[in-house]
Structure 1
Amino acid sequence: MWNGDELDLGAYLARIGLGGDGRELRPDLETLYAVHRAHTAAIPFESLDVLLGRPVALEVKALEDKLVHGRRGGYCYEQNSLLAAALERIGFEVSGRGARNRTRGDTLLAVTHAVLVVTVGGEPWLCDAGFGYQGPREPVPLGRPGAEVRQGPWTFAVHEEEDGVLVLRFRRGDAWRDLYAFSPQRYHPVDYVVLNHYSSTHPRSSFIGRTLVQLPGQEVRTTLVGRELTRLYPDGRTERETVGPDGLLALLDREFGLRLPARDAAELVRIHRSEY
């Protein structure tokens, strides 16, 4: 389904830091954890192509060219389509889901987030490399709703609502916050093509017209939205600073490991300067 046979698995593993270590990849939990953890640590969330007015392609070779060989990041459709292709290539059973973002309080948002469900030994696991700085770094079990799941200093939980709707929750300090909700309905790659078109072109999309780069780090989670850089710590504390156009490219390299081609970098700085 995810065209994993088209992926250069060796190049992908090298990109996320798992290549060349002699690791035997099997469709088991150990491998699932290792790949998910390495992917989220190495490939940042970013929607810079949308800001630059470029099309966002979801074909495996296009994703490989951009996120693997080009060492760029991507947003949820790109991140999780690439992850799905890699996991399928390894031998995992992977299916898609469409999720509804709940980080804006009671505002009802459309289903625009792509996540994955991977089945291992008959048990379903939520895998998501594309929710940015608040997203999980590792798979989250779906078979025991309500149980808290520790990922280093960060804590997640899955809450079950009516009609089989599952909600991923994230603890910030002493408070739990809903991240997103999804139903059992399976989504296919063609569904993500439609959602991707809306997210990358519709005037009301949250990705239109602003810089957005994020990374769910082990000790600190970092997000650049427009001109504001925010660091989130496990105790709920946040630090903020304003990023000017002259420091933008150095910050993208230092904080997110992103180095854009010269033409894209110049255009990004120009846009950032016009907003500053």
Structure 2
Amino acid sequence: MWSGDELDLDAYLERIGLRENPLAPGELRADLATLYAVHRAHTAAITFESLDVLLGRPVALDVKSIEGKLVHGRRGGYCYEQNSLLAAALERIGFEVTGRGARNRTRGDSLLAVTHAVLVVTVDGEEWLCDAGFGHQGPREPVPLGRPGADVEQGKWTYRIREEEDGVLALCLLRGDTWRDLYAFSPQRYHPVDYVVLNHYSSGHPHSSFVGRVIVQRPGDDVRRALVGRELTSLHPDGRIERRLVGPDEILTVLDREFGLRLPDREAEELVGMYLAGD
């Protein structure tokens, strides 16, 4: 399903910092401990970013292209790339992995199209939501789907699954004293080819939120950071948000310092040029 047999698993594990972890490649099993370790390491190491869309580069979803960019090129990616890579790795390890399509709910009451890709992994008969591609508000660890309404604490951050009509499940994040919906998804299974269609819209349609602006995000343990356009925000577990503007002279430094992202020279030059043109 996810072309896990084509993935260089050793290179992937080295990229996310698990190669020299006690969970060595030969000891990885399709169990909950491994799922947690891989998910958490992936979200820590690989930044959410859609800069190729901004720069007019094609976003390929075959495993070798994603591996070349996110693993060997040490770039980041957005949900289709991130979760396709995670799915391939988990499948290669031996997990049962299926896809879902989700509606973003972080933009008020607007009904948005299904454009977000998430994964459901089954371990010992229990389903777990896995998502390495929702940016700074996304979960760092798997979230159990069979316990609607239960608080799921991940360090200083708390998530919850809410069950709605027709089997729809919503992932919620506690910010301060307020629960906020992140996205909702139905039981319908999605396949890699479905993500190709969603990726076509997200990477090229003029109404896509990724077209025409910088989006780089990272879900830290203590602070969640996001660069959208020129605004850098820092989200704290108590709900506080700090904001500041980023100028052309510091954009590359911010990408490196705050997000661990270094662009190749050509892309870096183009990005700075876009920031200068906007002044």
TM-score tier (shorter): over 0.9
95, 105, 108: which one aligns with 2:108: 105
Aligned to 1:82: 85
> Partners in 2 of 1:29 and 1:41 — Cα distance?
18
Aligned to 2:56: 53
Structure 1 residue 30 displacement after superposition: 0.2
Tell me the TM-score normalized by structure 1: 0.99
Aligned to 1:14: 14
Aligned to 1:154: 157
Per-residue CA deviation, residues 128-149 of structure 1 (Å, 9 max, x unaligned), is 0000000000000000100000
Tell me the TM-score normalized by structure 2: 0.98
Aligned to 2:191: 188
Letter in 2 for 1:116: L
Structure 1 residue 56 displacement after superposition: 0.2
249, 252, 255: which one aligns with 2:255: 252
Letter in 2 for 1:135: G
> Partners in 2 of 1:234 and 1:82 — Cα distance?
28
**Structure 1, gaps ≥5 residues long:** none
Per-residue CA deviation, residues 145-164 of structure 1 (Å, 9 max, x unaligned), is 00000000000000000000
Structure 1 residue 22 displacement after superposition: 4.7
* 1:138 maps onto 2:141 in alignment: yes
Per-residue CA deviation, residues 66-99 of structure 1 (Å, 9 max, x unaligned), is 0000000000000000000000000000000000
Aligned to 1:31: 34
Letter in 2 for 1:195: L
SS at match of 1:169: strand
SS at match of 1:245: coil
Per-residue CA deviation, residues 174-228 of structure 1 (Å, 9 max, x unaligned), is 0000000000000000000000000000000000000000000000000000000
Structure 1 residue 20 displacement after superposition: 2.5
* 1:127 maps onto 2:130 in alignment: yes
Aligned to 1:3: 3
Structure 1 residue 123 displacement after superposition: 0.2
Aligned to 2:177: 174
**Structure 2, gaps ≥5 residues long:** none
SS at match of 2:29: coil
> Partners in 2 of 1:247 and 1:225 — Cα distance?
15
- Judged with a 3 Å threshold, the aligned counterparts in structure 2 of structure 1 residues 186 and 227 are, in CA distance, closer, same or farther, namely same
Provide the aligned length of Structure 1 versus Structure 2: 276
> Partners in 2 of 1:261 and 1:29 — Cα distance?
37
SS at match of 1:195: helix
> Partners in 2 of 1:270 and 1:173 — Cα distance?
38
SS at match of 2:211: coil
The CA RMSD over aligned residues, in Å, is 0.6
Letter in 1 for 2:95: F
> Partners in 2 of 1:51 and 1:98 — Cα distance?
23
SS at match of 2:249: helix
* 1:267 maps onto 2:270 in alignment: yes
SS at match of 2:250: helix
> Partners in 2 of 1:162 and 1:225 — Cα distance?
33
